Structure 1
């Protein structure tokens, strides 16, 4: 009787428990973590592959097995951070049954993230390389793939289908809400007018105000939808 074998997936270790060259996810994360620390400290231009090898604790040869160059490595950092915040926002919205509750938690969560020191440093780094790496900058700011905006768009569509909202252009509505809740804070942080994440009471006031505007524009008033924003913890 023929023996059945299972083809190894790309990230599966081989028979000896070892990954093929360039396929170990833990090693890849180790390199990305090291590179992120260097880029945040030195900036993209000043950072060298030697700096990254020291910080990551791997050889330069190992880095080149996983990444073609410094630009490729920076792109991997951007992609990973976008995936993480997108997953976090998706989880927040998945746990919210009420429109206003979901919007509130999304607004606070995203504003806290987008104004954090690590994100602001990354944004400044991206802006600094826009002339040399326009495709990366487009991916960072306006990717057509799944991102925070598309996750909010899906949430809005779900509540349109439930009859809680009336929205013709859900993508526009998602963009408007994101800008109302985080836009001003983000600009203040990016250009140095704020030294850290905004105070919680300021975020709370801004997000609740954005929800009132959003519901005035898109709430299904025929169904007597009323704003029910939760109090901050």
Structure 2
């Protein structure tokens, strides 16, 4: 790609917010990657889907790997935000956990999420940074945000927690049961809302059986 191409491509970006053009490219990339997979997707196809020139893409992203990494980061950050959207006036920890669990599982079983996880796993060995981005922007961020919420509930006397982060991951793992693994390997059909609700209900009961405030005398001291 010549400097002339770059200059020509950069001109439209100066006439509109950079974030808007970048978002258009990522949205186009999402369509192509989800349809073709990472390896089969081409930057020409991404350019067509985003209604930009290929030169314009390279103004914002130096490679297909960098573009995919940006897509992964955006999708995981957006999912984390949606997961923790709830009424802050809720003071019933059981209802709060149930709300988060159902939101979490509804997101986890979406076909696009399953496709994204499969793609990340397929390239993580070749491009470890992509795998790290997914892990840090997804499981790590979600786990830390739930850990902070659980600590707030514990400080209010509603839970008895010794390790905030371990408790957060325990809850997410209980909610997943075997449903997500079944989808990843193409064994199971997506669970219905009723099946998700039933699985989350079990997760909430098991979680509270161990971390409920009424069992505070059995908890080891917080580290």
| TM-score of the aligned structures, taking structure 2 as reference length | 0.85
Unaligned ranges ≥5, structure 2: 1-11, 217-223
Paired residue for 1:211?
A: 204
Paired residue for 1:201?
A: 194
Which of 90, 95, 98 aligns to 1:101? It is: 95
| Partners of 1:59 and 1:111 in 2: CA distance | 38
Q: Greater helix share, 1 or 2?
A: 2
2:113 paired with 1:119: yes
The 1:146/1:176 distance shift into structure 2, 3 A limit, reads closer
| Partners of 2:141 and 2:129 in 1: CA distance | 16
Q: CA deviation at 1:116?
A: 0.2
- Count of aligned positions: 205
Unaligned ranges ≥5, structure 1: 1-17, 224-233
Which of 133, 136, 148 aligns to 1:139? It is: 133
Query: How is 1:75-86 mapped onto 2 (pairs within 5 angstroms)?
Result: 75-86=69-80
Paired residue for 1:229?
A: none
Q: CA deviation at 1:97?
A: 2.4
| Partners of 1:82 and 1:157 in 2: CA distance | 23
| Partners of 2:139 and 2:200 in 1: CA distance | 26
| TM-score of the aligned structures, taking structure 1 as reference length | 0.82
Q: Does the 8 A contact of 1:124 with 1:190 survive in 2?
A: yes
Q: CA deviation at 1:140?
A: 1.0
Q: CA deviation at 1:52?
A: 0.5
Q: Does the 8 A contact of 2:147 with 2:164 survive in 1?
A: yes
Q: Point out the more displaced range, 123-132 or 133-142.
A: 133-142
Query: What do residues 1-52 of structure 1 show as CA deviations (whole Å, max 9, x unaligned)?
Result: xxxxxxxxxxxxxxxxx86389611111110000000000000000011111
